[in-house]
Structure 1
Amino acid sequence: MKKNYILIFLLSVSIGFAQIPTGYYSSATGTGYTLKTQLYNIIKNHNDQGYGALWTLYSSTAFRDNYYENNGSLLDMYSENPTGSDSYEYTSTSQQCGNYSGEGSCYNREHLVPQSYFDNYAVDPMKNDGHFVVPSDGYVNGQRNNFPFGKVGSASWTSTNGSKKGNNLNSGYSAGYSNTVFEPIDEFKGDIARSIFYFATRYENIMSNFYTTTGASTDAKVMFDGSNNKAFSDTFLNILITWHTNDPVSAKEIAINNRVFQHQANRNPFIDHPEYVCQIWPTQCATLSTQDFVSLDGISVYPNPSNNHTINIQSEVALDEIQLINLNGQLIQVIKKPVFNNNTYSLDNLPQGFYLLRLSSENQSVTKKIIVN
């Protein structure tokens, strides 16, 4: 795992490509839970558009596949196959649920923090919040149910894109819990973590109310600790921080953050400023950073900028995958299990432009911005 949890690159990407209003975060000057409260004061009182308006939100370009098949179908984190053809796709708003008999029947609105966790306290505006209520296949959403997100050891059920349900792996960064959890694929783990960090910040003033209200989902409850400030139990805070760190902010998230801001007039701070996570929860980040994981810190990419349409990647660590992504979020090239020559791999014949180069090894990844002149 990267020793540096405050990812300077992510900050530069988010500032460079997200449409953050000037001065939006000017009052976010603290650290720890003080910073979290400052962010709460910035994003609270958003304009609740109602539950039905989410269907219209999902029909916008930001929620469509402009990154993988690039065909404008609904981008569903539970059916999208980032490296191949999807088993099914939703191309029409008429495919909203409805009844479902299996995957591919219809899509609905999934609360990444289950609605059953908070609706005995208050339904609105949480039920309608576009930052953590996302479109997903209805059947897979039903399989996820109210279970917390976690690291599955042995799967009892697996979706067509590899999302799975089963007992939590009670070791490593996910130690401390062994009951049923739901695990999305690596491509979207950071997206989900940042949505849940948003939830704990936007509703900071009533997090303890959700937890103590009679009838709050016990499956979802294990993710939280009943406090307004720390918000999360130790196990699930470690899981979310790890996912946030290993899966950096993507162009998809930036586009959705901008669109939801237009929809309800508040932003997800952890997409705009990923470094806020470890500024708010520094103890947990420091603990995770001492664990013995593969480090990708020593990778070098050169020349950058490139004037000969070639980029060289030098790494002492064996890489599992190289992804080249343009600034529209489109996946230009994927190299699985690249074969290195003297610890170096070259990408040739690159068109002129700006790119994100994502390098992965085991459960770790690092993203670099490159320029080809």
Structure 2
Amino acid sequence: MKTAHFLFILANCACNIVVYSQIPTGYYNSAENQSEQSLKSALHNIINDHVEYDYTSSLETDTWDILKEADAQPSNPNNVLLIYTRESVNGSQEYASGAGWNREHVWAKSRGDFGTAIGAGTDVHNLRASNINVNSTRLNYSFDDCTSNSCKNTFGNYYSSSALIFEPRDEDKGDVARIIFYMDVRYEGGDDELDLEMIEDVLSTSSKQPRHGVRSTLLEWHAQDPVDDFERNRNNVIYGYQENRNPFIDHPELVDYLWGDKQDQQWNSSLSIPSNRQVNIHIPNPIVTDYLNFESDINFNRIKLFNIDGKVIHEHLGNSNRIQMPASTGIYFLQLHHGNSVILKKLIIKEF
């Protein structure tokens, strides 16, 4: 086998990577040392009674305005990034007679029949900027893996009108799951609000029950697609308006305590992965083998290498700091997963 020799350039190089969160001090104190229903109730009380905004208003701040900031493209804040397609669209093109972008209710607004009414219908944690056509295709289908012959593809998402399910792109699966988790906890039926419940079943499109699935699949997606900086920033922006947060973005491990294998254990935030953990990475330069081996003070449980078009070139699962290199030169992105943390680095590979 011919061994390729590459010159490796790490764009925006930083050997020490620090991620900071903006969780207010003491925000989750009342949930400390709670378990099962007591934990869920404590989280509900923390995020309940948020500041509410009109769905659409020509006079005051509305959900369009908040989404323009919450879903803004980091490198171009005038644009919004659309869920399910990752398209970048000028934020000012809100709907634009069907030519712009619209608002996706991730927990479908017909699942509880809350529509766009103040409350669940305008909760921006549940809204995402969306491609109008893909939003229409998604309908109110349950979220599940689409594996049957009836599945169709749209922008890398799969859906089946006969199975009544929608499977988003891998990059959006965790985002979707954590939004559904939030809605389940935020809306518990008090104060004349709906009691939304995440379930295992797939409901008919005509059902108005305040239920959404598929729970087991969403739990898997949460683990497969960890929280990223886009979600963290979005959580912070929405908190600035609504004054409540999505706990499953701040503390992804809470999912295990509510629906996973730690339901009989008390949750303690001090046992979670610190949000400001420093990770030291050393990558050799140049690379003279078919594999990229790098030194780090932690092992990554998942490593992905993407090309500039977003296609996964190579992927490695399991504790390792090693991944196969591409066969050709160009710009690539290295995604490193450790627990619920994700590091994304840009690579430029040139032959020499």
TM-score > 0.5 by shorter chain: yes
Q: Residue 146 of structure 1 contacts residue 220 of structure 1 at CA under 8 Å; is this kept in 2?
A: no
C-alpha distance in 2 between matches for 1:370 and 1:252: 12
CA distance in 2, matches of 1:56, 1:266: 17
CA shift digits 1:108-149 (9 cap, x unpaired): 111111111223699321111010111111111111111111
Match of 1:107 among 76, 101, 109: 101
In 1: Cα distance, 2:235 partner to 2:321 partner = 38
Structure-2 residue corresponding to 1:139: 133
Give SS of 2:133's match: helix
Who is 2:13 aligned against?
none
The answer to whether 1:312 aligns with 2:325 is no
Shift of 1:180: 1.5
What CA distance in whole angstroms lies between the structure 2 residues aligned with 1:128 and 1:113? 11
2:53 is the alignment partner of 1:49? yes
Runs (5+) with no aligned partner, structure 2 = 1-17, 57-61, 198-202, 265-278, 287-291, 326-332, 346-352
Q: Which amino acid aligns with 1:181?
A: I
1:336 aligns to 2:345 (yes or no): no
Give the letter for the 2:231 counterpart: E
Residue type of the alignment partner of 2:65: T
Cα distance in structure 1, aligned partners of 2:126 and 2:170: 18
When you count helix as a share of all residues, which structure comes out higher?
A: 1
Query: Of 150, 154, 158, which residue of structure 1 is paired with 2:153?
Result: 158
Give yes or no for contact 2:111–2:210 (8 Å, CA) kept in 1.
Answer: no
2:269 is the counterpart of 1:269: no
Contact 1:106 1:138 in 2 (8 A): yes
TM-score by length of 1: 0.63
Tell me by how many angstroms 1:156 deviates. 4.3
Q: How far apart in 2 are the matches of 1:312 and 1:121?
A: 51
CA drift at 1:78:
2.1
Specify the alignment match of 1:12 in structure 2. Answer: none
In structure 2, what is the equivalent of residue 201 of structure 1?
A: 185
Specify whether residues 249 and 323 from structure 1 end up closer, same or farther in structure 2 by C-alpha distance, changes over 3 A only.
farther
Deviations 1:127-184 (A, max 9, x none): 110101111111111111111111111354322x2112116xxxxxxxxxx8220111
Distance 1:307 1:79 in 2: 32
1:37–1:78 Cα change, 3 Å: same
Gapped runs of 5+ residues in structure 1? 1-14, 81-85, 100-104, 168-177, 212-216, 226-231, 287-302, 325-330, 348-354
Distance 1:337 1:55, change over 3 A: same
Partner residue in 2 for 1:219: 205
Partner AA of 1:23 in structure 2: G
**How many residue pairs were aligned?**
281
Q: What amino acid sits opposite 2:282 in the alignment?
A: S
Displacement after TM superposition at 1:75 (Å): 0.4
Amino acid of the structure 1 residue aligned with 2:293? N
Larger Rg: 2
**What does 1:16-35 correspond to in 2, within 5 Å?**
16-29=19-32, 30-35=34-39
Please report how far the alpha carbon of residue 98 of structure 1 lies from its aligned counterpart in structure 2 after TM superposition. 2.7
More strand by share: 2
Residue in structure 1 matched with residue 348 of structure 2 by the alignment: none
Maintained 8 Å contact 1:117/1:220: no
- Does the aligned pair in 2 maintain the 1:115–1:127 contact within 8 Å? yes
Q: Quick one: structure 1 residues 283 and 90, their matched pair in 2 at CA, closer, same or farther if it must change by over 3 Å?
A: same
Superposed displacement of residue 66, structure 1 = 2.2
**Residue 189 (1) aligns with residue 165 (2):** no
- Contact 1:43-1:267 within 8 A present in 2 as well: yes
CA distance in 2, matches of 1:71, 1:49: 22
Partners of 1:335 and 1:142 in 2: CA distance = 27
- Which residue of 323, 329, 336 maps to 1:358? 336
Cα pair 2:138 2:166 within 8 Å, conserved? yes
The reply on whether 1:322 has 2:300 as its aligned counterpart is: no
Q: Which residue number in structure 1 is paired with residue 330 of structure 2?
A: none
Identity among equivalent positions (%) equals 29
In structure 2, give the amino acid aligned to 1:32: E
Change (3 A) 1:197 1:97: farther
Question: Which AA in structure 1 matches 2:132?
Answer: G
Q: For 2:112 and 2:39, locate their aligned partners in 1 and report how far apart those are by CA, in whole Å.
A: 24
- The correspondence for 1:78, drawn from 56, 61, 84, is 84
Change (3 A) 1:259 1:78: same
Match of 2:14 in 1: none
- Secondary structure of 2:22 counterpart: coil
**CA-to-partner distance for each residue in 1:243-272, whole Å, 9 max, x for gaps?**
000000011000100000011110000000
Q: Confirm or deny: 8 A CA contact 1:114 1:220 kept in the other structure.
A: no
1:356 and 1:122, CA in 2 relative to 1: closer, same or farther beyond 3 A? same
Note if contact 1:322-1:357 (Cα within 8 Å) is conserved in structure 2: yes
Aligned residue type for 2:163: N
CA distance in 2, matches of 1:318, 1:42: 32
Partner of 1:240: 218
- Given that 1:313 and 1:345 are in contact with CA atoms closer than 8 Å, whether structure 2 keeps it comes out as no
Number of the residue aligned with 1:58:
67
